[in-house]
């Protein structure tokens, strides 16, 4: 990799960056992106100024990679607002899709892209994309919030200095330092014992599933009772656990019932910023960890409690298992193997990722057809969405890999566990 001699500083990559740079998730598009129509008075100069300030505030937006082990953080922004024009709405959407949807090159410079497609004086299509290697959902929300705030400051003529947020480069250096000492040794001991008990990857769902043709994404949506959120919260309180532990226990118990697997497992994303001073830092902190249901239990509350206590362990010791295992010459995760189940709670719909409307404009979310998104070829993704209105449980899966009847059975059993009739 070659880079220009502009001012900046070199430092280590984080373990999560290294996982991506050495091939983990390489088959995914890895973009966080959104687009929206803005109707009203949009000040493009203020937009440009706001984005430049966001990039100055968050050093991760100025990051590039010299190798899987070393990153380079530039002193100035690596991207700016690009302005395009279109004669029709359809042309604007097509232009934005091509601009936003182009994958970033891991040996390139800059992992953010932002544009405005101008239709007329009061109608613009705004879009932004950031590669997952420097961003997760918590960072995405922080960057969006700062962008809106800086835009409002620019409109007001505020040209004051940018207060720099916590440095991601400093986090990566501290993480690497701790990893080589007792902090890393504790994680090695925990994950060594966990893998010895449960294996390197949770079992497939259902057992014996085989591919049967091209990838065919399928979604099943099941409406839940209007009071599902309140009922689940009561259940979690009874078990002295979190709502996440309750819905996760429901899926694990359902998997045991459907597949007969004695110790079913899932994969789950941990977004925690576990080191001091990192709560407001933008960057990639999310890590995938396994979570299993162990011994057989006859009661719902006990099952939830077991899952809750196990979440404490796997989240406390969460690290990118693939690269950590390589350092320790151990196999903690098998490359290119997916867990059979993934569980989420209250994942936001894409439209909620929007920036708050810029002052003087109204915003309308636009769904872009960007190819190459995440594909869970061998995983059933179960989401419990306990919104105030329209609560639902959904499943995403590969119809060429999984029998729909088994997925339906899984949802039935999970709902019956978490929200039994007569509860």
Confidence of residue 1 (pLDDT cuts 50, 70, 90): very low
Q: Same domain for 218 and 129?
A: no
pLDDT at 39: 95
241 part of a folded domain:
yes
Alpha carbon distances (Å) from 27 to 23, 96, 168, 187, 375: 8, 23, 25, 28, 8
Q: In sequence order, which residues have a C-beta less than 8 Å from that of residue 29 and are 6 or more positions away?
A: 101, 103, 370, 371, 372, 373, 374
Q: Same domain for 58 and 143?
A: yes
Please provide the average confidence, as pLDDT, over all residues in the chain. Answer: 90
271 part of a folded domain:
yes
User: The domain spanning residue 84 has which CATH number?
Assistant: 3.30.559.10
Q: Is the pLDDT of residue 247 over 50?
A: yes
Q: Same domain for 147 and 189?
A: no
Q: How far is residue 195's CA from residue 331's CA, in Å, rounded to a whole number?
A: 9
pLDDT tens digits for range 156-166: 999 788 888 89
Q: Same domain for 144 and 187?
A: no
Q: Same domain for 117 and 196?
A: no
pLDDT tens digits for range 98-123: 999 888 999 999 999 999 999 999 99
159 part of a folded domain:
yes
pTM: 0.89
Q: Same domain for 263 and 400?
A: yes
257: buried, middle or exposed (CB in 10 Å: 19+, 13-18, 0-12)?
Answer: middle
Q: What percent of the chain has pLDDT over 70?
A: 93
159: buried, middle or exposed (CB in 10 Å: 19+, 13-18, 0-12)?
Answer: exposed
Q: Same domain for 387 and 245?
A: yes
User: The domain spanning residue 394 has which CATH number?
Assistant: 3.30.559.30
Q: Same domain for 155 and 234?
A: no
Domain stop point among 138, 167, 196? 167
Reduced to 3 states, what is the DSSP secondary structure of residue 67?
Answer: strand
Domain total for the chain?
A: 2
pLDDT tens digits for range 166-224: 999 999 999 999 999 999 999 999 999 999 999 998 888 876 556 667 888 899 999 99
Q: Same domain for 148 and 231?
A: no
pLDDT tens digits for range 283-312: 999 988 999 998 777 799 999 999 999 999
Domain stop point among 132, 167, 202? 167
Domain stop point among 107, 134, 167? 167
Confidence of residue 35 (pLDDT cuts 50, 70, 90): very high
- Tally of CA atoms within 13 A in the half-sphere of 230 that contains its CB: 6
370 part of a folded domain:
no
Q: Same domain for 91 and 131?
A: yes
Range of the domain at 185: 181-340+378-418
pLDDT at 40: 95
Reduced to 3 states, what is the DSSP secondary structure of residue 398?
Answer: strand
Q: Same domain for 409 and 283?
A: yes
136 part of a folded domain:
yes
Q: Is the pLDDT of residue 3 over 70?
A: no
Give the residue ranges of DSSP H helices in 136-260.
137-155, 168-179, 182-198, 228-238, 243-259
pLDDT at 2: 43
Tokens of 144: 């969006």
Q: How far is residue 264's CA from residue 382's CA, in Å, rounded to a whole number?
A: 14
Residue range 68-89: mean pLDDT, rounded: 96
pLDDT tens digits for range 361-388: 999 999 887 766 667 778 899 999 998 7
348 part of a folded domain:
no
Q: How far is residue 227's CA from residue 84's CA, in Å, rounded to a whole number?
A: 47
Q: Same domain for 322 and 383?
A: yes
Cα angle: 42, vertex 163, 44; to 5 degrees: 15
pLDDT at 373: 64
């Amino acid at each position: 990799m070659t880079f220009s001699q502009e001012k900046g500083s070199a430092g280590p990559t984080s373990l999560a960056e290294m996982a991506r740079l050495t091939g983990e998730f390489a088959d995914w598009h890895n973009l966080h992106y959104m687009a929206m129509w803005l109707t009203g008075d949009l000040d493009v100069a203020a937009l440009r100024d706001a984005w430049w300030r966001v990039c100055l505030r968050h050093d991760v937006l100025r990051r590039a990679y010299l190798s899987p082990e070393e990153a380079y953080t530039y002193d100035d922004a690596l991207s700016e607002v690009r302005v395009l024009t279109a004669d029709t709405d359809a042309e604007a959407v097509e232009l934005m899709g091509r601009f936003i949807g182009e994958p970033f090159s891991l040996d390139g410079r800059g992992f953010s892209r932002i544009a405005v497609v101008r239709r007329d004086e009061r109608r613009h299509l705004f879009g932004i994309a950031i590669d997952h290697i420097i961003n997760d959902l918590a960072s995405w929300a922080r960057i969006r919030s700062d962008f809106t705030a800086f835009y409002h400051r620019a409109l007001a003529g505020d040209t004051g200095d940018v207060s720099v947020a916590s440095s991601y480069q400093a986090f990566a250096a501290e993480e690497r330092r701790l990893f080589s000492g007792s902090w890393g040794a504790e994680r090695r001991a925990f994950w060594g014992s966990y893998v010895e008990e449960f294996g390197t990857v949770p079992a497939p769902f259902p057992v014996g599933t085989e591919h049967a043709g091209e990838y065919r994404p399928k979604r099943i949506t099941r409406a839940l009772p209007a009071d599902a959120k309140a009922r689940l919260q009561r259940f979690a309180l009874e078990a002295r656990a979190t709502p996440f532990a309750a819905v996760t226990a429901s899926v694990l118990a359902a998997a045991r019932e459907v597949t007969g697997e004695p110790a079913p497992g899932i994969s789950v994303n941990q977004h925690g910023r576990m080191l001091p001073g990192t709560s407001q830092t933008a960057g990639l902190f999310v890590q995938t960890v396994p979570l299993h249901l162990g011994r057989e239990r006859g009661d719902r509350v006990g099952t939830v409690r077991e899952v809750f206590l196990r979440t404490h362990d796997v989240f406390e010791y969460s690290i990118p298992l693939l690269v950590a295992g390589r350092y320790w010459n151990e196999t903690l995760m098998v490359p290119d193997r997916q867990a059979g189940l993934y569980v989420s709670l209250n994942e936001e719909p894409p439209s909620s990722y929007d920036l708050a409307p810029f002052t003087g404009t109204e915003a309308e979310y636009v769904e872009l057809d960007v190819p190459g998104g995440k594909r869970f070829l061998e995983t059933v993704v179960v989401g419990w969405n306990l919104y105030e209105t329209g609560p639902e449980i959904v499943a995403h899966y590969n119809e060429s890999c999984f029998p729909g009847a088994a997925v339906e059975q899984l949802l039935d059993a999970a709902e019956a566990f978490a929200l039994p009739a007569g509860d």
